[in-house]
Amino acid sequence: MSNSKTIIVSNRLPLQISIEDDKLEVSASVGGLATGMKSVHTEGNGIWVGWTGITDEDLNPKLRDTVNKRVKQEKCVAVNLTEQDIEDYYLGFSNKTLWPLFHYFMEYTAFETKEWNAYVEVNQKFANAVLEQLNDGDTVWVHDYQLLLVPEMIKAKKPYTTIGFFLHIPFPSYEIFRTFPWRSEVLEGMLGADLIGFHTYDYERHFLSSIKRILRLEVNFNEISYHNRIIKVDSFPMGIDYQKFWNAALKHNSDHEEKSDLQRRLDEHIDPEHNKKLILSIDRMDYTKGIPNRLRAFEYFLNAYPQYKEHVRLVMLAVPSRSNVPQYIKLKRETDELVGRINGQFATVSWTPIWYFYRSLPFSDLIDLYTSADVALITPVRDGMNLVAKEYVATRTNTDGVLILSEMAGAAKEMNEALLINPNSYDDFANTLKRALEMPEAEQKTRMKFLQKRLKRYDVEKWAKEFLSALRATRELQEVIVAK
Ligand code: GDG
């Protein structure tokens, strides 16, 4: 058993790969999942299976060889995908069907058989890539909505493999999920895993309800009996690399000499004596993140409380995402128009109410933003977890600052000391924003300290370890049942 390894499987590998003039650049990705999995991935013979982000058409055979070799040095295995695969499986079924459906955007959900077929085919490609690497005693941990069928595809070929599955987005209620034409296939796909994890108890509950009502399986508390196996379902709220954000903020706060241009511009607005404050929002440009709602509510706030004109600035970072999917194009247009309208309506010669960035910023700029913001405004209309809310808290080394968080984010379930709002209520939004801007420092600190304590204790590494130890425990339980 000592040679056994953990295989992590996700749509994208934790690598940034770029090719310019036939020259290959490979660097490790710094995303939350990559950080959390780092110790699991680098331990023993651990490997990561996923797509590189480059389609087959963009690689000549020689270059593909070089990519595969470099990827292997990073303990990764590349799943090769064509442009058509990406069109139908990724942009198509994953992002035009599963993503909107699981986030309750029924009106955006397409049900295309051709894309479903591509989804099955590409999931099989991932499963085959795992099977090629798999030895007896190995553990496989599959991630997210792009790969819902992979657990079953592996289990069918290698029934004794220990398989875990984690869903990073919400699992919708039965009333939504039942509308999905491939509902049974997807549930059966997930049931190839021995342990199925969600961010919150609510998602877990919704999943179990669909299991009972669609597959008519016996569910005992959080255990499902299926094909003579007990499958466990549980919630594991994903954390962040708390120390990384805390240390970066500490360093930022002590480097008074070396301020970035962004920091200097942010400082121009901040003026506690005259009650001038910065409000921050950071999201991928996605319709689930509630960006137009937030902008309209901010406009409502400025009308309802005009004393805040010239005193608050909303710094809004929207990172481009899936920008060739029609709903995302529409969202970008709507956002541009709203920002233009609100700035046009309220701006003065010395004040622009909204600073809007539509791009990705380097980590150091992100730290400038987090540490400068008096209020973080995180108001998705639906969000599996939301790590930005947690990152903001981790950078508040002086324990000041206020987090306004939507009830619809999974993170709200464990961040009770934030000011929780319903993002659809402009009144709730405006009154809460006022309350945040006027919150006494002592109250800010009390709330912040509680939030920090919890996030520090349950960081992303702990999350990964707890999932894997629960997976091992599930296998032990299965063995005991078989032995009986
Ligand atoms: C999915 C689920 C769940 C953002 N802008 C920049 C940047 N970021 C980083 C943030 C944060 C991450 O991206 C975004 O994470 P979220 O959790 O907020 O959102 P999703 O991308 O939608 O992730 C979500 C998550 O999976 C994990 O399970 O929480 O609910 O939808 O880490 O810091 N990073 C840099 N520049 C930017 O401009 N460097």
Q: Residue by residue, what is the 3-state secondary structure of 300-317?
A: HHHHHCHHHCCCEEEEEE
Q: Is the CB of 421 under 6 A from ligand 1?
A: no
* Active-site residue identified among 168, 199, 206, 252: 168
The residue among 457, 391, 410 whose CA lies nearest residue 168 is 410
Residue 158's contacts (CB-CB under 8 Å, 6 or more residues apart) are 131, 134
Backbone angles phi, psi at 383, to 5 degrees: -155, 130
Mutate to test the pocket of ligand 1, among 388, 395, 413, 467 (most ligand atoms within 8 A of CB): 388
Q: What is the ipTM of this complex?
A: 0.98
Catalytic residue flag (residue 271): no
Measured by CA distance, the residue closest to atom 28 of ligand 1 is 168
What are phi and psi for residue 259, nearest 5 degrees?
A: -80, 140
Q: Is 357 left (phi over 0), alpha (psi -120 to 50) or beta?
A: beta
Q: Is the CB of residue 373 less than 8 Å from the CB of residue 401?
A: yes
Compute, in angstroms, the gap from residue 76 CA to the centroid of ligand 1: 22
Is the CB of 391 inside a 6 Å radius of any atom of ligand 1? yes
Catalytic residue among 241, 368, 383, 459: 383
CA atoms lying within 13 Å on the CB side of residue 51: 21
362: its two tokens:
């380097």
* Tokens coding 7: 């295989």
- To the nearest 10 degrees (0 to 180), the angle between helices 426-438 and 291-304 is 70
* Secondary structure letter of residue 396 according to DSSP: -
Query: What's this model's pTM, rounded to 2 decimal places?
Result: 0.96
Q: Cβ(9)–Cβ(130) under 8 Å?
A: yes
| Interstrand relation of 23-28 and 15-20 (parallel, antiparallel or unpaired) | antiparallel
DSSP line for 79-116 = PP--HHHIIIIIIIIIIIIIHHHHTT-GGG----HHHH
Q: Is 387 in the pocket of ligand 1 (CB under 6 A)?
A: yes
Ligand 1 site, residue 360, Cβ cutoff 6 A: yes
Residue 83: phi and psi, rounded to 5, are -60, -40
With the C-alpha atoms ordered 154, 43, 29, 25, is the resulting torsion angle positive or negative? negative
What is the structure's pLDDT at 322?
86
Cα separation, 102 vs 206, in Å, equals 11
The pair of three-digit structure tokens given for residue 36, joined into one six-digit string: 């959390």
Q: How far apart are CA 14 and CA 74, in angstroms?
A: 9
Answer whether 230's CB lies under 8 Å from 279's CB.
Answer: no
Distance, in Å, from the CA atom of 46 to the CA atom of 179, rounded to the nearest integer, reads 39
Active-site residue flag, 41: no
Helix axes 242-254, 387-394, angle to 10 degrees: 40
Query: Quick one: which atom of ligand 1 is closest to the CA of 384?
Result: 30
Through-space distance between the first and last CA atoms of the chain, rounded to whole angstroms: 23
Count Cβ atoms below 10 Å from residue 210 Cβ, excluding itself. 22
111: number of Cβ within 10 Å: 14
Report the distance separating Cα 214 and Cα 175, nearest Å.
Answer: 11
Task: Specify the pLDDT at position 465.
Answer: 94
Select from 284, 364, 381 the residue to mutate for testing ligand 1; criterion: most ligand atoms less than 8 Å from CB: 284
CB 346 within 8 A of CB 353: yes
Closest-CA residue to 112 (of 166, 64, 182): 182
Each residue's pLDDT, cut to its tens digit, for the chain (484 residues) gives 468 999 999 999 998 888 887 778 887 776 667 777 877 888 778 999 999 988 988 888 888 888 888 899 999 999 999 999 999 999 999 999 999 999 999 999 999 999 999 999 999 999 999 999 999 999 999 999 999 999 999 999 999 999 999 999 999 999 999 999 999 999 999 999 999 999 999 999 999 999 999 999 999 999 999 988 999 999 999 999 999 999 999 999 887 778 888 888 888 877 777 778 999 999 999 999 999 999 999 999 999 999 999 999 999 999 998 888 889 999 999 999 999 999 999 999 999 999 999 999 999 999 999 999 999 999 999 999 999 999 999 999 999 999 999 999 999 999 999 999 999 999 999 999 999 999 999 999 999 999 999 999 999 999 999 999 999 999 888 887 777 7
Amino acid at 15: L
Pocket perturbation via mutation, ligand 1, pick of 387, 395, 414 by most ligand atoms within 8 A of CB: 387
For residue 33, the model assigns a pLDDT of 78
Identity of residue 250: L
- CA–CA separation, 58 and 448 (whole Å): 48
- The string of pLDDT tens digits covering residues 60-76 is 888 888 888 889 999 99
Q: How many CB atoms lie within 10 A of CB 114?
A: 10
Q: Which atom of ligand 1 is nearest to the CA of 363?
A: 39
Question: Pick from 179, 113, 185, 102: which is nearest to 144 by CA?
Answer: 102
CA of 347 to the centre of ligand 1 (A): 30
Q: 391 C-alpha to center of ligand 1: Å?
A: 10
Cβ neighbours for 230, distance < 8 A, ≥ 6 positions apart: 223, 224, 474, 477, 478, 481
- At residue 31, the pLDDT reads 67
Nearest to 67, CA basis, from 111, 31, 23, 128:
23
Residue 392: closest CA among 414, 367, 409, 413? 367
- Predicted pLDDT of residue 1: 47
